[in-house]
Amino acid sequence: MRTAILPLILAVAAAPLTARQAAAIQQRPGAEKQPAAESGGRAVTAAPAVEAPDSARVQLSKSATDSLKGLVDRFRRDPEAVPLPAPDQVAMGGKTVPAGTALAGPVAAAGGPLHVYGTVNGDAIAIGSDVIVHPGGHVTGNAVSALGAVTLLGGTVDGEIRQLGGALGAIPRAAADVETPARSTRHALALSSSWLIILVLMAIGVLLFAGDYLEGVVDSLEGRFGRSFWAGIATQLALAPVLALLVVALAVTILGILLIPFAIVAFVLAVAGLITLGFLAIARITGESVAPAASKRYSARGAALRALVVGVSIYVGLWVLASAFAWAPVVETVLRGVAVAITWVATTAGLGAAVLSRGGTRRSTPAAPLAAVNDIPWQTPTPVTGVVAARRPTPSSSARER
């Protein structure tokens, strides 16, 4: 059985690429693996005299050869490739290293198998085909096949056995590549612009569905910026201890342990919500002050939306500006530092206002109206001489008297 299969294996492995297969390469340049031979390939006599003679190679058509040359070029640029010999030394259609011979590597074949019966002092490479190391065959370097396989039929490979599949060539790098200034600038701009869009969309959503809460935070923030800012700092400092207390409180009751993950998520969501609400509130105030809307031109909601978009654009615009200088690291660092500082101050004040207003649910109490004063008795003409005018009562003096 074994003796029957061996010639078949050798025949399959030994036959070089036919013209039809070469044409198939041209049609399917990204094919994972090329067939070694057609099913009707010629059988070769069994070992030790089994050697596929180079004369067995078929002449490839010009188009097939050109296609293979393109494949070889792509392989040269591949990061997983090993150094190849000069283009004219890559054997198109396959190659055989006869027994008893030693070739200086690298030895390469394309579009047909590389049979190693002798010794390759260096790397043995097959592109679009297989490397087959037969009994007695020896590769002192690596055995590499691109879009094929490395088959050991009793031979030895001192180095690594490597098979590549998928797209060959220089890979357009995303994260792993070294960033060029233009690319990093483009990436930074895309990122900050995306944030601008996200925040504008969030602003619209908040205005539509939580406009009252936003109004509450704006009320709390207006005229009390300093207080809101310090409240924001206090909130930031308290976040970690409050979370720890929450976890401990839940952990004290054994059943509560199960709720800990949910409590952590809820806590994070609540804080994120407050920060967003606060930031949008301060963005709106900023927008109103920078570009006040003409009262007749916009509805109340339209004016609020305009102020929000302007405010958000101002704050995120700082980041976009910093991103635009990603090609100049020093300038970018300075601008980014400015953006960080301003954003932090704004976010902290907004967070403080959101906390003080309980998420916008508690409006700041309006100033107490002056107590109604009956002016009638005081409308008598003040005597010009002789009588001291009585002191007009005010709400505060009335309170003092009480």
Partner 1 sequence: MTARMSRVLAPAIAASLAGSAAGAQSWRTLEVSRQLRDSAPAAVQVIYGTGKIGVRATRNPLLYHMLLRYDASRTQPRHAFDTTARKLQIGVQKSEVRFDGQKDSEAGHLQLELSKTTPLDLNLDLGAVESDLDLTGLRISRLRVESGASDSKLRFDSLNATRMSMLEVSLGAASFRGDRLANANAADIRVDAGVGNVELDLGGQWTQDMDLHVDITLGIVTIHVPADVGVRVSLQKTIASFEHEGLVERDGAWVSRNWDSAPHKVRITAKTVFGKLSIDRTGR
Give dist(CA 277, CA 355) in Å, integer. Answer: 10
Give dist(CA 286, CA 315) in Å, integer. Answer: 9
Give dist(CA 265, CA 261) in Å, integer. Answer: 6
Three-state DSSP state, 223: coil
Q: Which is nearer to partner 1, 12 or 309 (CB)?
A: 309
- Of 164, 202, 246, 342, the one binding partner 1 by CB under 8 A: 164
- Of 140, 163, 236, 364, the one binding partner 1 by CB under 8 A: 163
- Apex CA 144: angle with CA 138 and CA 148, to 5°? 115
- Of 42, 173, 301, 392, the one binding partner 1 by CB under 8 A: 173
Give dist(CA 250, CA 150) in Å, integer. Answer: 60
Give the chain's length: 402
Indicate whether 178 belongs to the interface with partner 1 (CB under 8 A): no
- Of 6, 23, 24, 171, the one binding partner 1 by CB under 8 A: 171
Indicate whether 361 belongs to the interface with partner 1 (CB under 8 A): no
Indicate whether 167 belongs to the interface with partner 1 (CB under 8 A): yes
End-to-end Cα spacing for the chain:
119
Min dist CB 129 to partner 1, Å, is 16
Q: Are 99 and 136 in contact (CB under 8 A)?
A: yes
Min dist CB 363 to partner 1, Å, is 29
Q: What residues from 256 to 275 belong to the interface with partner 1 (CB under 8 A)? A: 257, 260
Indicate whether 1 belongs to the interface with partner 1 (CB under 8 A): no
CB neighbour class for 216 (10 Å; exposed up to 12, middle 13-18, buried from 19): buried
Min dist CB 171 to partner 1, Å, is 4
Q: Which is nearer to partner 1, 151 or 228 (CB)?
A: 151
Indicate whether 246 belongs to the interface with partner 1 (CB under 8 A): no
Indicate whether 162 belongs to the interface with partner 1 (CB under 8 A): yes
CB neighbour class for 331 (10 Å; exposed up to 12, middle 13-18, buried from 19): middle
Q: Are 155 and 116 in contact (CB under 8 A)?
A: yes
Q: Which is nearer to partner 1, 165 or 359 (CB)?
A: 165
Nearest to 57 by CA among 40, 75, 39, 42: 42
Q: What residues from 287 to 316 belong to the interface with partner 1 (CB under 8 A)? A: 306, 309, 313
Q: Which is nearer to partner 1, 138 or 336 (CB)?
A: 138
How big is the site for partner 1, counted in residues (CB under 8 A)? 42
Indicate whether 200 belongs to the interface with partner 1 (CB under 8 A): yes
- Of 38, 66, 160, 212, the one binding partner 1 by CB under 8 A: 160
Alpha helices in 253-328 (DSSP H): 260-290, 300-324
Indicate whether 157 belongs to the interface with partner 1 (CB under 8 A): yes
Indicate whether 284 belongs to the interface with partner 1 (CB under 8 A): no
Amino acid code (one letter) for 19: A
Segment interacting with partner 1 (CB under 8 A) among 47-55, 162-170, 222-230, 274-282: 162-170
Indicate whether 46 belongs to the interface with partner 1 (CB under 8 A): no
Min dist CB 197 to partner 1, Å, is 6
Indicate whether 184 belongs to the interface with partner 1 (CB under 8 A): no
Cα maximum dimension of the chain? 145
- Strands in 124-127's sheet, in edge-to-edge order, are 91-92, 107-110, 124-127, 143-146
Indicate whether 194 belongs to the interface with partner 1 (CB under 8 A): yes
Q: What residues from 64 to 83 belong to the interface with partner 1 (CB under 8 A)? A: 79-80
Segment interacting with partner 1 (CB under 8 A) among 11-19, 92-100, 150-158, 235-243: 150-158
Indicate whether 57 belongs to the interface with partner 1 (CB under 8 A): no
Sign of the four-CA dihedral 231, 232, 238, 244: positive
Q: Are 220 and 364 in contact (CB under 8 A)?
A: yes
- The set of residues, in sequence order, having a beta carbon less than 8 Å from that of 214 and lying 6+ positions away, is 206, 207, 277, 280, 281, 284, 360
Residues lying near partner 1 in the complex (CB under 8 A): 79-80, 152, 156-167, 171-176, 186-187, 189-191, 193-194, 196-197, 200, 247-248, 251-252, 254, 257, 260, 306, 309, 313, 320
